[in-house]
Amino acid sequence: MQKILIIQNKRIGDVLIASVIANNFKRKFPDSEVHFMAYGFTTGVLEQNPNIDKIIPIQEKELKKLPNLIRFIRWVRQQKYDIIFDPYSKTQSRLICKFSGAKITIGHKSRKKFGNWNYYTHPTEGLEKSDKFCGKAIEDRVHLIEFAGDFEPIDYAPKLFLSEAEKKEDWLRSYKDKKVIVLGILGSTPQKSMPYDHVAQVCDYISQHFDVYLLFNYSPHQKEEAQKILALCEYKDRIILDIYAPSIRDFIKLLAQCDVLVANEGGSVHIAKALNKPTFTLFSPYVSKDHWASFEDGIMHTSVHLREDKPELYGSFSYEERKKIEADPTKLYREHNPTLYLDRLHAFLKHHLG
């Protein structure tokens, strides 16, 4: 029996798509023991997954403290893992791999010229580009398992699993008389958030043309900002603000009972796709669509990006240029007025809502 560890110390979407490694490994080696280490606030996307035997929640701030990191490395050594996959390859996870005692450790090389210190037995590089339907972000992670054997045919689609009890929970309460669009009004960071008046413009357009409810999705600390967006909206009676999912697991259960997701690119989009819900994604101006767009067929899943609508505003769109835009994307966000894509949003919603 092989014992493996997957380390993905990043955000929700990253953890969900990294779970594809567990799904494929367990399919080939059903008797293996698969552990998954992730930040505590992300583990909701791993719960009930039959391909993961143990979830190891960690806290980012705690792991960055050297004494805690040393203690954790000792614990990892005691587990005697055969293989460790490190899809995101941060400093802490690289050190865990280097001193883990595992027979095989697989992770990405550092971008820095002198940043590779034999952290892995099998170092690899991210793919230059992807020609697969799943997109580069998923393929980069699945690419790691190739160093542990032949896993063809590979299943690239992330999956979420709900218990029968979870499926029976009533989240929509009195809002079952209309279809419900979950609207991601704020990104996980300010740099991933659209201008508030643009969000309100999208809300009003949907309310004018479709007889639906709009359920605002936001994080607990963003409630005040959500209220500011609500104040800008004309059709407030269509907006659901009194249903809130306090955890990622609760959001999964809530979204499973809704009909469509319209949101900034991020964890909620990956969750919706794993639940087989239609998605219309609004990409931040610095995020690479080639990297993060997944399973887009223009019907079930589609997206818009300023770089496609106004390519003249961009240069090489290199990693360095994207980091500069990320530092202050305000100007480019203003350039991506909803009038540029409302016709595509309308066609998408009409197809799925009638």
Nearest CA to 232 out of 267, 194, 269 is that of: 194
Question: How do residues 304-333 score in pLDDT, each as one tens digit?
Answer: 999 999 999 998 899 899 999 999 999 999
Q: What is the pTM of this model?
A: 0.93
pLDDT of residue 352: 97
pLDDT score of 114 more than 50 = no
pLDDT score of 168 more than 50 = yes
Question: How do residues 249-287 score in pLDDT, each as one tens digit?
Answer: 999 999 999 999 999 998 999 999 999 999 999 999 999
Sheet strand arrangement including 33-39: 54-58, 33-39, 3-8, 83-86, 104-108, 122-124
Q: Between 52 and 317, name the one with better pLDDT.
A: 52
pLDDT score of 60 more than 90 = no
pLDDT of residue 195: 93
Q: For residues 195-205, give the mean pLDDT.
A: 96
The residues that bridge with 181 in the sheet, in sequence order, are: 214, 260
pLDDT score of 289 more than 60 = yes
Q: How confident is the model at residue 197 (pLDDT cuts 50, 70, 90)?
A: very high
One-letter-per-residue 3-state SS of the chain: CCEEEEEECCCHHHHHHHHHHHHHHHHHCCCCEEEEEEEHHHHHHCCCCCCCCEEEEECHHHHCCHHHHHHHHHHHHHHCCCEEEECCCCHHHHHHHHCCCCCEEEEECCCCCCCCCCCCCEEECCCCCCCCCCCHHHHHHHHHHHHHCCCCCCCCCCCCCCCHHHHHCCCCCCCCCCEEEEEECCCCCHHHCCCHHHHHHHHHHHHHHCCEEEEEECCHHHHHHHHHHHHHCCCHHHEECCCCCCCHHHHHHHHHCCCEEEEECCHHHHHHHHCCCCEEEECCCCCCHHHHCCCCCCCCEEEECHHHHCHHHCCCCCHHHHHHHHHCCHHHHHHCCHHHCHHHHHHHHHHHHC
Q: Cα angle at 30 between 28 and 31, to 5 degrees?
A: 130
pLDDT > 70 fraction of the chain, expressed in percent and rounded:
98
pLDDT score of 228 more than 90 = yes
pLDDT score of 339 more than 60 = yes
Q: Between 128 and 330, name the one with better pLDDT.
A: 330
Q: For residues 63-86, give the mean pLDDT.
A: 94
pLDDT score of 115 more than 60 = no
Q: For residues 294-313, give the mean pLDDT.
A: 96
Domains (range + CATH), the chain: 3-148 (3.40.50.2000), 167-353 (3.40.50.2000)
What six digits make up the tokens of 194?
């659209």
Cα–Cα distance for residue pair 343/348, rounded to 1 Å: 9
pLDDT of residue 189: 79
pLDDT of residue 334: 95
Cα–Cα distance for residue pair 199/112, rounded to 1 Å: 38
Q: For residues 145-174, give the mean pLDDT.
A: 94
Q: How confident is the model at residue 133 (pLDDT cuts 50, 70, 90)?
A: confident
Q: For residues 234-244, give the mean pLDDT.
A: 93
Q: Between 117 and 4, name the one with better pLDDT.
A: 4
What six digits make up the tokens of 341?
């894509």
pLDDT score of 116 more than 70 = no
Q: How confident is the model at residue 32 (pLDDT cuts 50, 70, 90)?
A: very high
